[in-house]
Each structure stands twice: as C-alpha cells, then as structure tokens.
Amino acid sequence: MKAGLILESWPLFAEGVWITVQLTVLALALGLCLAVPVAFVRLRRVRGLSALADGYVALFRGTPLLVQLYMVYFGLSQFEWLRDSWAWALLREAWWCALITFALNSGAYASEILRGALAATPAGELEAARALGLRPRQVDRLVLLPAALRRSLPQLGNEVVFMLHGSAVASVITLQDILGAGRALNARYYLAYEGLLTAAALYMLVTLVVVGVFRALERRYLRHLALAPVRVRSRLPAMR
Amino acid sequence: MNELLPFLPLLLRGAAVTLALALLGLALATALGALGAVGRLSGRRLPAAAVRGYTALVRGVPDLVMVLLVYFGGQRLLNDLGALVGLDRIPLPPFWAGVLSIGFIYGAYLTETFRGAYRALPAGQADAARALGLGRGATLRLVLLPQMLRHALPGYANVWMVLVKSTAVVSVIGLGDLVGVANDVGKSQRAPFLFFGFVLLVYLGITWVSGRLFAAAERRAAR
Amino acid sequence: MLKTTLLSLALVTGLGAQAVAQSLNICVEGAYPPFSFTTESGSVAGFDIDIANALCDQLGYDCTLVKTGWDGIIPALLERKCDAIVASMAITPERKQVVDFSMKYYNTPARFVGREGMTMDDLKDAVVGVQRGTVHHDYMRGEHPRVDIKLYGSQDEAFLDLAAGRIDAVMGESIASATGFLDTDSGEGFAFFGPPISIPKYHGIGAGIAVRQGEEDLRNAFSHAIGELRANGTYQKINQKYFDFDIFGG
C-alpha cells in the first residue's frame, strides 16, 4: 500500500470529489425539473405528448447509463451538421455531455417514482382541496405535487445514491471525477489498485453523507405522515 | 449500415457474452442473497453484523469501481492465496471478474429482497405448519418458500433489470461483451453513433423481453 | 543457478525450443492502429501483434495474447495477468523503475497533429489531447506545462475528439498518427505540425518489450530474439507489411 502517494495526491482527489458532487447535484436538480412535467403528462395521458414521454422513459430506463453517455459524447459528435449547430457549444465539452446524459437518465427514473406517488395520492386530499375552492391547476401545484414529492422522498433519496454511483462513468469521457482521479493516480505510478481503493472510500464517504441528509429530510417532511411511504417501484430496494 | 453489417457476427457474439455474464451474475447474486438473508434472519449477532457490513460496502461503492477493484485488486488477492497453497498463478480473466463483481453487488440487494419477502409472510404460518406435523425442511419447502417466491418476485425482477444494465461497465476492463465490441469497433470505424445505437436497441430488447417474462411470472404466482 | 543458466542458454540459442515449450501470456492493447487494432473477426492484429507472434515462434513459446486497456497494462504485468507487454511501450527511465525492458524493437519520433496550417505558435491557446499514462503525457507536462491537456484512455478516442473539434491538437507517436488518423477519411484537413520530437528524458530510447523486474532470462531472450528477427529478415517482412520505410530507427 502506498499511503504516501495517496496523501500526496490529495488535491487530485479533492478536485475529483468536487466534480462528482457537482455533476450529481446538478443532474438530479435538472432531472427533477424534467420529471415533474413528464410524470404529469404520463399520468393524465396527454395526447401526442404521452407517447413521447413513454418513449423517453422507456429508452433511458431500458439501457445502460454508460452506453447513453458514449452515445451522447462519441455518437453525436460524429455528425457534421450537429457540430455546426448551436448545440455544439455544449456538446463539445465532456462536462456538459455528462451533465445532459445524467439529467436525462435521472429524469426518467424520477418521473417514474413521481408518477407512482401522484397516482397514489388519496382522493380525499384532492377533494378537500377542491372543496376549499382551488382551481384544478392550483390543486395540482399546491396540493398534489407537494404531497407526491414528500411521499417519494425515500425513493428519491435512493435515486440520489444511484446517480452518485452512476456518475462514476464520467471518468471514461476524460473527466477527472473521483474515479478519474483514482485512475490517474494508478496510471501515473503504475499502481494496480491503490487509486481505486481511495476512490471507493471517497464514494462511500459521500454516500454516507447523502444518506444522512435524506434521513434528516424524511424526519422533517414525513413526520406528519404517519403512514408507510407509498410503495413505488424504485430502481432497487432501499438498503438501510 | 454498411459499416455495421460485417461486424454483425462479432456484435452478436458480444451480446451472447453480455447475456452469459448477466445470467451467471444473477445466479451468484441469488446464492449470495439467500445466504445473506439467512444470515440476517438467523438472529445471531456475528452473521447479522457481517451481512450488514456487506450491504453497507455495496451500497457505498459504484459498480464500475467495484469491477475495476475486483479485476486488479482481486488478482493480487488470488496471487497471494495461490502462493499460500503453492499454485503459481490463478488467472482472473475479465469475464470472471465481471461475474464475481456483479454477483457480489446484486447479492447484497437480493439479501434485502429475500429478507423482505420472508418478513412479509403472515406470522404463525410456520407454527401452523409445524403443528400439522411438518418437519422444518418440509415447512420451508412446502409452505414458506412458495409464498416467499410471490413476495420476492417483483423485487427480484427489479434487481435483474438493474443487473443487466450494470453488465455494460464490465467492458471497461477489456471484456469483449456487446458494449466492449461496439466501443472498439465503433471507434476504429469512426462510426460510434451506429454501433452504440445498435447496443441501445439490443439492451432495450433484453429489458423489454425480461419485463414481459417477469410480468407473466408475477401473474402466475399471484393466482 | 546452473539450471537457470542452462535454461537461458537454451532460450537464447533457440535450441531447446521443443523441450521448453513454455506457455507465455502477452499483454497487447488493440486500440492503436496500425500497431495494434481489432479486426472484423474480433481478433487483434497489427505490427505489435506480428512482432509478438514472431518472437514467440523464434523462442518456441506457446503464446496467448491478452487484450488489456493501456491504463491497466503495467498493473496487469505486475499482477501476473501476463508475462510480457508488447504494446509499443517506450523504454523510459520512469517505467524502468517498475518494469524491465528488452532492447528496442522500433523507434520513431513523436509529433503534434492539428488542423492544416496550425503552427507551434498556436499551441499556447490550444487544447491538446494525449493518451493517459504515455510518454506524450509526460512530455506535455514537462515541456508545455501551461498548455491545456485532455487525457484519453486510448489513442483512438483522442483522434475521434480531434476530428470532432473538441480538441485542437493531439500529441502522439508519429506513425500511429499518420496511419491511424491522417491517412484515413476522417483525417482529412489535418496535418502534422512542428518538428519530430524525441527527447530521451521523456520519450526514452524506443519501444521495448516489458517484463517484470528480475526476470532477466526472459528479458534477455526477447532482446536476443529481436536481433535474430532483424538478422533473418522476418522483421523486415513484417515492417514492409505496414510501412514503406524501416521503423527500427538508428
């Protein structure tokens, strides 16, 4: 074990943690913004849009994140018309390619969670809101969505961990995230696993922080709901 | 399309490698999951703590990092173990490193699935079966397992879906799976869009078919 | 002691080839045309591969080629996933601290590739792609520390991004850059710029075959066999298959 080398390279790893956290947080935020309209469209079966939303969710939930990233980074850059378009300002940067892919991926999963939570909102809550004189849009915005978001907190927390872990594929498109830092250390000193072990430990640490934050959030926002969280199909069972 | 056709046999062979990797990984994960669930439910402190450590480790480390660690670190471990028993070299090719990592990761998730399924059984079922004179083995086989199967199936299906997609990362250690082949050839042919597009379609096909199969299985089990 | 001497003698002379038909795993890369690339049938081919096979024939070894990503190729050797690396690896002082090398089996300079008309003066504002963990990476870090560099897992990826316009230049070995990129369709509009570069501190003294430290016999056997291939014309035959000049270097 070359502990000295690892300690010496701390700026590399600090930078790596920053890039990983940045990508994960932004991707989740953008993903959630995308997930809300998609979930509503799929719930209400808006004509035309529904098929599009279904296709989007099926594509991103049905294929590996790594291949999606390869497609956006290497695949799209193959086309000259795209390289001549305004989109190239973003797509030429590995960082943006990763962020766009991660946001689309996370949006698809989050919309599925949200759709389940929306559908599972008790009819009584909505009737009460209508009885108070709220218009349908207001019911959606003020009652239905906040209630669904609260209910899906545990699953969304799970989703955060998945995005954090999924973001490790960013290292294959030249980004120096946590794993990228570990692999750079390995390549620099021809090590087999020291850099990887350091990366694993850092991912674990960040995961623990995320899980802690979400537990606190759940305690705060689900306290009044003396009910078990809605059973929604999330990616995997939460492990705690 | 012209670029893709000559490579079709190679890509299909890669798809077969992907499927084999996923199925063997699932088999290992199922065994580890069953073992883990028994450990957690045993009520003994040491096995329960060991399983908790196992799931915490898996929950903390990304699949790609795990695959790389098993491939490089695992070889060191095997070398050391081999030296102990006097073997010169136990090779750890990418395929088996992939099966080991995937099995190890999803075994932790299946531990939770199986444990949840056991917990979902109505209390007293086992006692009732015992009271009817069934032995421990017979109780498990005839009464508990069939019911657990029903409860575990949705979670099992979920794990399979995630596991299949996880196989893609094994290409990073040089495995000639579907993604690895498309990556090598797509780049050297300068047609990555076409090759990765093909990969996306194959994965969609796999997840669609397995979604159908599991839905049918759930309907059967719920009858 | 006597045994190892006899063994190495047998290896070096190629006499006891049949008697010691040892099996040997050789790490190759497979993403570095024309030295090493993947064919339609999924096997690896190229100059490195032909050289590896010729050396194995010469030495009477039963060889298996192990395809390994560049990143992990030295660790793979150290962890005994393979016994030798034949992957256009430059013999550098830094690498010599972890592995031993045979004599060189070819030596060619490094060069920058960029849009036609680009000059060394444009370098300071350019983003330059290099393969992670190569001599070119060390050279850029040492000689052009101010220039923005981007690290790639393979040489192919760097050229894909150069063609796409994500980076302005690629620093790499000149022949791989010519045959693997400039001579292909996607290399249109691109050219070498600046002089051929070969600084021993970074670029070493040519590409050699890496073995684990202390494996003197194997190392010597390879060095000797390279000499034999040069002497009996096999090397030239392989050379001609890929290049129209002698890449062995002076």
> In order of start, what are the domains of chain A with their CATH numbers?
3-221 (1.10.3720.10)
Nearest to B10 among C42, C160, C186 (CB): C42
**Of A224-238, B147-161, C199-213, which gets the smallest average pLDDT?**
A224-238
- When pLDDT is cut at 50, 70 and 90, the band that residue A236 belongs to is low
Q: What is the residue-averaged pLDDT of chain B?
A: 90
pLDDT given for residue B195 in this prediction: 96
Chain B interface, best mutation among A66, A112, A202, A215, by max B CB count within 10 A: A66
C109 in contact with chain A, both atoms CB, cutoff 8 A: no
The chain C residue lying nearest A183, using CA atoms, is: C71
pLDDT at B53 over 60: yes
CB atoms within 10 A of CB B173: 24
Q: Long-range contacts of range A83-90, CB-CB < 8 Å, 24 or more positions apart? A: A83/C164, A83/C165, A88/C165
Q: Do B200 and A239 touch (CB under 8 A)?
A: no
Contact C191, C116 (CB under 8 A): yes
Q: What is the pLDDT of residue B208?
A: 95
Chain B hits for C67, Cβ within 8 Å? 174, 176
Q: How far is CA B130 from the centre of its chain?
A: 34
What is the CA angle C10-C59-C204, rounded to 5?
110
* C chain contacts of residue B81, beta-carbon cutoff 8 Å: none
What is the pLDDT, as a whole number, of residue A225? 59
pLDDT tier at B1, thresholds 50, 70, 90 = low
Which class for C215: exposed (0-12), middle (13-18), buried (19 or more C-beta within 10 A)?
A: middle
Burial call A90-116: b when 16+ CB within 10 Å, e when fewer:
ebbebbebbbbbbbbbbbbbbbbbbbb
Phi, psi of A2 (to 5 degrees): -105, 75
Domain covering C2-107+206-242 assigned CATH 3.40.190.10 in the classification = yes
Is beta strand C169-173 parallel, antiparallel or unpaired with respect to C110-115? Answer: antiparallel
Q: Is the pLDDT of residue A232 over 80?
A: no
Domains C2-107+206-242 and C110-202 share a fold: yes
Q: pLDDT 10s digit of each residue in chain C, 250 long?
A: 444 544 444 444 444 444 446 889 999 998 888 999 888 787 899 999 999 999 999 999 999 999 888 888 998 899 888 999 999 999 998 899 999 999 999 999 999 999 999 999 999 999 999 998 899 999 999 999 999 998 898 888 899 999 999 999 999 999 999 988 999 888 999 999 999 999 989 999 999 999 999 999 999 999 999 999 999 999 999 999 999 889 998 6
**Residue from B81, B171, B188 whose CB has the most chain C CBs within 10 Å, to mutate:** B188
Say if C132 is an interface residue toward chain B (CB within 8 Å).
no
Closest residue on chain B to A193 (Cα): B73
Strand order in the sheet with C110-115: C148-152, C127-131, C169-173, C110-115, C190-197
- Please check whether residue C104 is in contact with residue C238, taking contact to mean a CB–CB distance below 8 angstroms: no
Contact (Cβ atoms closer than 8 angstroms) between residue A218 and residue A140:
no
Would you call C184 and B185 a contact, using CB atoms and an 8 Å cutoff?
no
Q: Looking at beta carbons, which residues of chain A come within 8 Å of B193?
A: 71, 74-76, 78-79
CB–CB contacts below 8 A, A to C:
46
Residue B129 has pLDDT above 90, yes or no: no
Nearest-by-CA chain A residue for C186 = A78
Q: What is the DSSP string of B41-107?
A: HT--HHHHHHHHHHHHHHHHS-HHHHHHHHHHHHHHHHHHHHHHTT-S-----HHHHHHHHHHHHHH
Size of interface A-B (CB pairs under 8 A): 135
Closest CA in chain B for residue C28 = B174
What's the one-letter identity of residue C59?
L
Judged by CB atoms closer than 8 Å, whether chains meet at A191 and C71 is answered as: no
Identity of the residue in A74, A161, A166 whose CB atom sits nearest the CB atom of B187:
A74
C34: preceding bond cis by omega (within 30 degrees): yes
A77 close to C160: Cβ distance less than 8 angstroms? yes
A87 vs A2, which has greater pLDDT?
Answer: A87
Q: What are the residues of chain A with a beta carbon less than 8 Å away from any beta carbon of chain B?
A: 58-59, 61-68, 70-71, 74-76, 78-79, 161, 164-169, 171-172, 179, 182-183, 192-193, 196-197, 199-200, 203-204, 207-208, 233, 235-239
CB pairs under 8 A between B and C: 51
Pairing relationship of beta strands C23-28 and C127-131 according to DSSP bridges: unpaired
Give, as one character, the DSSP assignment of residue C112: E
Tell whether the torsion through CA atoms of C233, C200, C34 and C32 is positive or negative.
positive
DSSP-derived letter for residue C169 is: E
- Tell me which residue range forms the domain holding B163: 5-222
Say how far apart CA C169 and CA C165 lie, in whole Å: 9
For residue A85, pLDDT beyond 90: no
Instruction: Please state, for a pLDDT cut of 90, what percent of chain A lies above it.
Output: 52
Query: In which band, very low, low, confident or very high, does the pLDDT at A55 lie, cut at 50, 70 and 90?
Result: very high
Of the residues A104, A186, A193, the best mutation for testing chain B's interface (the one with the most B CB atoms within 10 Å of its CB) is A193
Chain-chain contact of A196 with B112 (C-beta, under 8 angstroms): no
Distance (Å) from the C-alpha of residue B202 to the closest C-alpha of chain C?
A: 19
So what's the ipTM on this one?
0.91
pLDDT for res C21: 62
The answer to whether the CB of C29 falls within 8 A of the CB of C66 is no
A185, closest residue in chain C (CA to CA): C133
Residue C1 pLDDT: 43
Nearest residue of chain A to residue C133 (CA atoms): A187
| Domain C110-202: CATH architecture, name and number where available | 3-Layer(aba) Sandwich (3.40)
What share of chain B in percent tops pLDDT 90? 57
Q: Assign residue B65 the CATH number of its domain.
A: 1.10.3720.10
Token pair of C231 as six digits = 């002497």
- In one-letter notation, the amino acid at residue C194 is G
A117-167 pLDDT, tens per residue?
999 888 888 888 888 888 888 888 888 999 899 888 888 888 999 999 999
pLDDT band at residue A235 under the 50/70/90 scheme: low
If contacts are CB pairs under 8 Å, which of residues 89-128 in chain A contact chain C? 92-94
At residue B144, the pLDDT reads 80
- Which residue of chain A is at minimal alpha-carbon distance from B68? A196
Q: Does residue B199 have a pLDDT over 70?
A: yes
Task: Decide if C156 and B192 are in contact by the 8 Å CB cutoff.
Answer: no
Burial level of C17, CB count in 10 A (0-12/13-18/19+)? middle
Residue closest to A103 by CA, chosen among A9, A167, A10, A30: A30
DSSP designation for C131: E
Joined together, the tokens standing for residue B186 give: 């797509």
Mean pLDDT computed over B189-212: 94
Summarize the confidence of residues B92-97 as an average pLDDT.
Answer: 91
Angle formed by the axes of helices B63-84 and B94-119, to 10°?
A: 110
Tell whether C72 is within 8 A of chain B (Cβ).
yes
Query: Taking CB atoms and an 8 Å limit, are A193 and C164 in contact across chains?
Result: no
Nearest to B64 among A70, A161, A168 (CB): A168
Q: Which sequence spans correspond to the domains of chain C?
A: 2-107+206-242, 110-202
Assess B87–A contact: CB distance below 8 Å, yes or no. Answer: no
> What total number of domains does chain B contain?
1
